[in-house]
């Protein structure tokens, strides 16, 4: 017989286990790799502290060679992991960012927001917002606290938010927060890239109705990371419940929603796209579906043809530049 320390109180497959004595074991997303020069993509990265008060950091990436005086689009990236695992230093995310920066010729900042349960929601959103405020501060003249890579290589009029899974959810919420804040006057988001976005709801839609097992898993994940009386209809996870902001008010000019055919979250992503198109929002919405693939497959199988085509499509979206092809 095992003691309480070895008895699992909650198995949150495939992310973590909670034991009866309260200890936590993260199973996924725990490996880390250092930043530096990636010889395959010729992309440079380094870790920086961006919010000293909370210790929130980020990993920033740029091409090793940038043409003198060329200013590049800037991506603020939010990783996935159901709000409870992973980091920018997780090898799969580090690899993915190197590939994206090389493919799109951009500078990217991958935010290391704090995780549940040590830092309950809405901490992840607050940390991500603080990171965005830090980025926006680079538009101010006083430059002695500015990050050199942003100052030297970035066009702050070409800023995009990109995220996968929980990170796409974060990007959605930040786009409303910008509109409601003073930041929205000086700082514009050109577009949002949502890869396999993590939205959900109590009542099943589409393929969720036929896949009770996976629906139960997703319910379980969300109820763990956000225990509230609203359950899976909390506005953080369901953007269409009463009290959620109207999509017409989304503060960006373009959105690319990417869904995967075998992903249990697929129909939520499609629903989001359809709602956005019909909302009266004045931007340009695009959708891409990865056939025969599952959730964030490109993170775990980055060299397959479909992952490469996802990256190319995302890169094309980020290179629309200066409003070309994006409704102002």
Closest CA to 258 of 309, 216, 218: 309
Domain ranges of the chain: 32-319
Output the CA–CA distances (angstroms, integers) from residue 256 to 79, 142, 172, 184, 273, in the order listed. Answer: 17, 34, 12, 21, 9
pLDDT of residue 320: 85
CATH, range 32-319: 3.40.50.1820
- The C-alpha R_g of the chain, in whole angstroms, comes to 19
Structure tokens at 27: 């199973």
Q: What span, in angstroms and rounded, lies between the C-alpha atoms of 60 and 57?
A: 10
Phi first, then psi: what are they for 169, rounded to 5°? -60, -45
Per residue in 219-267, pLDDT (tens digit) is 999 999 999 999 999 999 999 998 899 999 899 999 999 999 999 999 9
Please give the positions annotated as active site. Answer: 165, 263, 295
Q: Who's near 14: CB < 8 A, 6+ residues apart?
A: 27, 28
pLDDT of residue 328: 34
| Strand 254-260 versus strand 284-290 pairing type | parallel
Per residue in 289-303, pLDDT (tens digit) is 999 999 999 999 999
Q: For residue 4, is pLDDT > 70?
A: no
Q: What span, in angstroms and rounded, lies between the C-alpha atoms of 48 and 135?
A: 12
Whether 234 and 125 have beta carbons less than 8 Å apart is answered as no
Whether 267 and 206 have beta carbons less than 8 Å apart is answered as yes
- pLDDT band per the 50, 70, 90 thresholds, residue 182: confident
Compute the average pLDDT of residues 290-318.
97
pLDDT of residue 194: 98
């Amino acid at each position: 017989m095992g003691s309480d320390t070895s008895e699992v109180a909650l198995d949150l497959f495939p992310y973590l286990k909670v034991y009866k004595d309260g200890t936590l074991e993260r199973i996924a997303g725990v490996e880390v790799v250092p930043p530096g020069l990636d010889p395959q993509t010729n992309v440079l990265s380094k870790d920086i502290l961006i919010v000293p008060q909370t210790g929130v950091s980020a990993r920033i990436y740029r091409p090793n060679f940038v043409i003198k005086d060329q200013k590049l689009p800037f991506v603020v990236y939010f990783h996935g992991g159901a709000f409870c695992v992973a980091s920018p230093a997780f090898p799969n995310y580090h690899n993915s960012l190197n590939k994206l920066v090389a493919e799109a010729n951009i500078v990217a900042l991958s935010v290391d927001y704090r995780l549940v349960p040590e830092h309950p929601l809405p901490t992840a959103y607050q940390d991500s917002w603080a990171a965005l405020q830090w980025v926006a501060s680079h538009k101010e003249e006083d430059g002695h606290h500015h990050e050199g890579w942003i100052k030297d290589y970035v066009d702050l009029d070409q800023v995009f938010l990109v995220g996968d899974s929980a990170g796409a959810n974060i990007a959605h919420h930040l786009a409303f927060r910008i509109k409601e804040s003073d930041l929205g006057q000086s700082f514009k988001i050109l577009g949002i890239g949502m890869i396999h976005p993590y939205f959900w709801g109590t009542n099943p839609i589409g393929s969720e109705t036929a896949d009770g097992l996976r629906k139960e898993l997703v319910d379980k994940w969300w109820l763990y990371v956000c225990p509230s009386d609203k359950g899976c209809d909390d506005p953080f996870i369901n953007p269409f419940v009463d009290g959620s902001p109207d999509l017409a008010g989304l503060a960006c000019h373009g959105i690319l929603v990417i869904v995967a055919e075998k992903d249990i979250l697929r129909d939520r992503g499609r629903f989001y796209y359809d709602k956005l198109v019909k909302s009266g929002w004045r931007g340009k919405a695009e959708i891409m579906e990865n056939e025969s693939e599952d959730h964030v497959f490109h993170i775990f199988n980055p060299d397959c043809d479909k992952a490469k085509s996802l990256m190319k499509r995302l890169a094309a979206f980020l290179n629309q530049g200066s409003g070309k092809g994006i409704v102002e």
